[in-house]
Amino acid sequence: MNRREFFRAVGLGGAALVAPSILVRGAPAGEAPPRKPNIVLILADDLGYECIGAHGGTSYKTPVLDRLAATGMRFDRCYAQPLCTPTRVQLMTGIYNVRNYTHFGHMDPGQTTFAHLLKKAGYATCIAGKWQLGQAPDLPARFGFDEYCLWQHTRRPPRYVNPGLEIMGKEMDFTHGEYGPDIVNAYALDFVKRKKDGPFFLYYPMILTHAPYMATPDSADWDPKLTGEKGGPAAHFADMVAYMDKLIGRLTAQLDELGLRQNTLILFLGDNGTGAGTQSQMGDRTVVGGKGKGTDAGMHVPLIANWPGVVQPGKACGDLVDSTDFLPTICQAAGVQVPGELAIDGRSFLAQLQGQKGDPRPWIYCWFSRDGGPKAQFELAANERYKLYADGRMFDLTKDLLEKTPLAAGALDAEASAVRKVLQAALDKYKGSRPPQFAGQSGPGGEGQRRQEEQVTRRHRAAIT
**Residue spans per domain, the chain:** 36-362, 378-464
Per-residue pLDDT of the chain (465 residues; tens, 9 = 90+): 444 555 554 443 332 222 222 223 433 434 445 689 999 999 999 999 999 999 999 999 999 999 999 999 999 999 999 999 999 999 999 999 999 999 999 999 999 999 999 999 999 999 999 999 999 999 999 999 999 999 999 999 999 999 999 999 999 999 999 999 999 999 999 999 999 998 999 999 999 999 999 999 999 999 999 999 988 888 999 999 999 999 999 999 999 999 999 999 999 999 999 999 999 999 999 999 999 999 999 999 999 999 999 998 999 999 999 999 999 999 999 999 999 999 999 999 999 999 999 999 999 999 999 999 999 999 999 999 999 999 999 999 999 999 999 999 899 999 999 999 999 999 999 999 999 999 988 655 444 444 444 444 344 334 333
Using alpha carbons only, give the angle 208, 212, 214 rounded to the nearest 5 degrees. Answer: 75
Contacts of 10 (CB under 8 A, 6+ apart): 149, 167, 168, 170, 172
Q: Determine the Cα–Cα distance for residues 253 and 281; give it in Å rounded to an integer.
A: 29
In words, the CATH class of domain 36-362 is alpha beta
Q: What are phi and psi of 241, to 5 degrees?
A: -65, -45
Q: Determine the Cα–Cα distance for residues 108 and 95; give it in Å rounded to an integer.
A: 12
Burial 219-238 (b: 16+ CB within 10 A, else e): beeeeeeeeeeeeeeeebbb
Strand 38-44 to 200-205 pairing: parallel
3-class DSSP state for residue 79? strand
- Predicted TM-score (pTM) of this structure: 0.90
Q: Determine the Cα–Cα distance for residues 196 and 189; give it in Å rounded to an integer.
A: 10
Using alpha carbons only, give the angle 142, 145, 149 rounded to the nearest 5 degrees. Answer: 110
